[in-house]
């Protein structure tokens, strides 16, 4: 899930899980648990009786305030589910009974049904946290644990923060010996397929996803990225944008930091992924087109049919923005073909891609979709992270002062680079 200052999220259906061994009977703990330390000790002993491991989630509706705090501390004291039951076991805390491994939902035919969040609860939380997406999801995860489900217009939407699930989505979909443990749903691409297609590294899965990933991954490895040449190029791009920002602020202008972060990361992505160097005006044009398309895509994903109900002027702006982005992708393809394909960047990797069975290369349409997908994936999440970071630093003068002190102490007047930041 992507959550940024503008609350853009990719909605997914619950993934199909491989069920672990049958859950044991509940483990009864003492009814008098006055503090988290004692509870943690009880849990450590209980783990010996639970081959599937223990995971503690809080349920505010069934707990008093003190009990909720106790459960949260207990959760930190437990090691989480064992590998044999990864992403399938979730237990609730109840006063005096912790844990019971019947799960918050149920494990049936390998499918995890997480705790459901009612529409009224979600809507009221949204109203309470207007302009604060992080607050909304912090509130929901506190109440329902690391995994919960909301009923959306196109079906259930799963929100999951567990590392095991992230690994499953990103790594364990390509094994040809087993059916995919996670298949990307039509809901994930509903608002995006018009521009990006579905045959690309972002929206595809299975063998098609693996082929695209193998073509581009070498150009995102540390061996390729962390060279002096690449670091210097990225540093130069970022410095140009920061210099422009300093000039604007010095002149007393009001600036949109989120927009500046988006342009900066887009500029870096275009240079690194496609070796493209755009003028400020052309970068503004591409950024503006992306902003129009992604706004429409997010609305269509969350409110199906909104693109058809939009005003004619809005439809025209979206079509014009899509045409600009497609034309830009075609320019990159034609330019590289005229230069000759080598091993410089991900664009070379895409142009060299061949199907393992037929030996055929990608079509122009597929290349266009891959390029636009990489443009999005290469900058949007990083821009969101930077935007949130700056937003939170602005709200927290103490944290801002600590960050400034650390920079002065660790870097001083030296030019910061990848190696110094890595430590």
At residue 164, does pLDDT exceed 80?
no
Give pLDDT, residue 24.
37
Are 228 and 130 found together in one domain? no
b vs e for 76-87, b when ≥16 Cβ sit within 10 Å of the residue's Cβ? Answer: ebbeebbeebbb
Is 374 a domain residue?
Answer: yes
Give pLDDT, residue 120.
84
Is 192 a domain residue?
Answer: no
Mean pLDDT score, 301-307: 71
At residue 212, does pLDDT exceed 80?
yes
* Of residues 24 and 275, more confidently modeled: 275
Are 259 and 376 found together in one domain? yes
At residue 402, does pLDDT exceed 90?
yes
Q: What percent of the chain has pLDDT over 90?
A: 24
Q: How many domains does the chain have?
A: 2
Give pLDDT, residue 337.
93
- Rounded distance between C-alpha atoms, residue 99 and residue 74, angstroms: 11
Mean pLDDT score, 291-298: 86
Are 104 and 232 found together in one domain? no
CB-based contacts of 29, cutoff 8 Å, min separation 6: 39, 42, 43, 46, 96, 97, 98
Are 159 and 108 found together in one domain? yes
Is 204 a domain residue?
Answer: no
Are 167 and 247 found together in one domain? no
Are 86 and 15 found together in one domain? yes
At residue 359, does pLDDT exceed 60?
yes
Is 261 a domain residue?
Answer: yes
Give pLDDT, residue 99.
29
Torsion of CA 182, 187, 193, 194, to 10 degrees: 180
Is 203 a domain residue?
Answer: no
At residue 383, does pLDDT exceed 80?
yes
Mean pLDDT score, 51-69: 41
Are 168 and 275 found together in one domain? no
Mean pLDDT score across all residues of the chain:
71
Give pLDDT, residue 411.
85
Answer for the pair 11, 157: CB distance below 8 angstroms, yes or no.
Answer: yes
Which of 94-98, 269-273, 284-288 has the least mean pLDDT?
94-98
Is 423 a domain residue?
Answer: no
Pick from 121, 151, 173: which residue ends a domain?
A: 173
Mean pLDDT score, 248-268: 92
At residue 307, does pLDDT exceed 60?
yes
Pick from 173, 199, 228: which residue ends a domain?
A: 173
**Residue matched to tokens 């045409």:** 323
* Of residues 231 and 192, more confidently modeled: 231
CB-based contacts of 420, cutoff 8 Å, min separation 6: 410, 411, 414
Mean pLDDT score, 75-81: 39
Sign of the dihedral through C-alpha 296, 301, 306, 307 = positive
Are 159 and 218 found together in one domain? no
Q: Confidence band (pLDDT; 50, 70, 90) for 325?
A: very high
Mean pLDDT score, 316-327: 92
Pick from 141, 173, 205: which residue ends a domain?
A: 173
Is 227 a domain residue?
Answer: yes
Are 225 and 168 found together in one domain? no
Q: Could you read off the pLDDT of 99-109 as tens digits, one per residue?
A: 222 222 222 33
Domain that holds residue 244: 214-386
b vs e for 305-344, b when ≥16 Cβ sit within 10 Å of the residue's Cβ? Answer: ebbeebeeebeebbeebbebbbebbeebbeebeeeeeeee
* Of residues 260 and 411, more confidently modeled: 260
Give pLDDT, residue 2.
25
Q: Confidence band (pLDDT; 50, 70, 90) for 133?
A: confident
Q: Confidence band (pLDDT; 50, 70, 90) for 329?
A: very high
Is 202 a domain residue?
Answer: no
At residue 89, does pLDDT exceed 60?
no
Give pLDDT, residue 15.
29
Are 128 and 237 found together in one domain? no
Q: Confidence band (pLDDT; 50, 70, 90) for 204?
A: confident
Helix (H) or strand (E) holding 332: helix 312-339
Give pLDDT, residue 44.
55
Are 222 and 335 found together in one domain? yes
At residue 6, does pLDDT exceed 70?
no
Are 250 and 342 found together in one domain? yes
Per DSSP, the three-state class of 193 is helix
How many helices and strands, by DSSP H and E, does the chain display? 19, 10
At residue 323, does pLDDT exceed 60?
yes
Determine whether 383 is exposed, middle or buried from the number of CB atoms within 10 Å of its CB (0-12, 13-18, 19+).
buried
**Residue matched to tokens 């094994």:** 175
The CATH code of the domain that includes 356 is 1.10.630.10
């Amino acid at each position: 899930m992507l959550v940024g200052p503008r609350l853009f999220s990719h909605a997914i259906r619950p993934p199909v899980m491989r069920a672990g061994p049958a859950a044991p009977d509940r483990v009864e703990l003492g009814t008098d648990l006055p503090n988290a330390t004692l509870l943690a000790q009880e849990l450590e002993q209980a783990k010996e009786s639970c081959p599937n491991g223990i995971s503690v989630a809080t349920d505010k509706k069934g707990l008093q305030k003190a009990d909720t705090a106790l459960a949260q501390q207990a959760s930190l004291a437990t090691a989480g589910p064992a590998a044999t039951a990864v992403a399938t076991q979730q237990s609730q805390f109840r006063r005096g009974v912790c844990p019971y491994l019947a799960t918050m939902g149920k494990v049936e035919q390998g499918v995890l049904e997480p705790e459901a969040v009612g529409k009224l609860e979600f809507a009221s939380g949204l109203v309470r946290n207007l302009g604060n997406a992080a607050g909304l999801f912090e509130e929901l995860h506190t109440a329902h644990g690391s995994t919960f489900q909301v009923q959306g217009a196109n079906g259930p939407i799963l929100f999951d923060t567990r590392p095991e699930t992230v690994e499953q989505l990103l790594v364990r979909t390509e094994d040809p010996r087993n059916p995919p443990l996670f298949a990307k749903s039509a809901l994930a691409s509903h608002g995006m397929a018009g521009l990006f297609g579905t045959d690309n590294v972002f929206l595809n899965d299975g063998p098609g996803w693996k082929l695209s990933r193998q073509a581009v991954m070498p150009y995102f490895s540390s061996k390729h990225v962390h060279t002096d040449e690449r670091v210097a190029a990225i540093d130069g791009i970022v410095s140009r944008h920061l210099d422009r920002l300093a000039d604007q602020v010095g002149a007393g202008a009001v600036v949109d930091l989120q927009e500046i972060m988006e342009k900066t990361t887009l500029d870096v992505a275009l240079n690194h992924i496609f070796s493209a160097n755009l003028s400020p005006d052309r970068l503004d044009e591409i950024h503006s087109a992306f902003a129009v398309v992604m706004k429409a895509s997010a609305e269509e994903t969350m409110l199906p049919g909104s693109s058809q109900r939009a005003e004619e002027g809005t439809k025209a702006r979206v079509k014009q923005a899509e045409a600009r982005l497609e034309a830009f992708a075609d320019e990159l393809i034609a330019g590289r073909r005229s230069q000759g394909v080598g091993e410089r960047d991900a664009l070379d990797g895409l142009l060299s891609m061949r199907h393992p069975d037929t030996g055929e290369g990608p079509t122009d349409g597929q290349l266009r979709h891959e390029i636009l997908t990489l443009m999005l994936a290469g900058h949007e999440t990083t821009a969101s992270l930077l935007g949130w970071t700056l937003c939170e630093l602005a709200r927290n003068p103490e944290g801002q002062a600590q960050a400034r002190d650390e920079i002065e102490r660790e870097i001083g007047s030296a030019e910061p680079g990848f190696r110094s930041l890595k430590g």
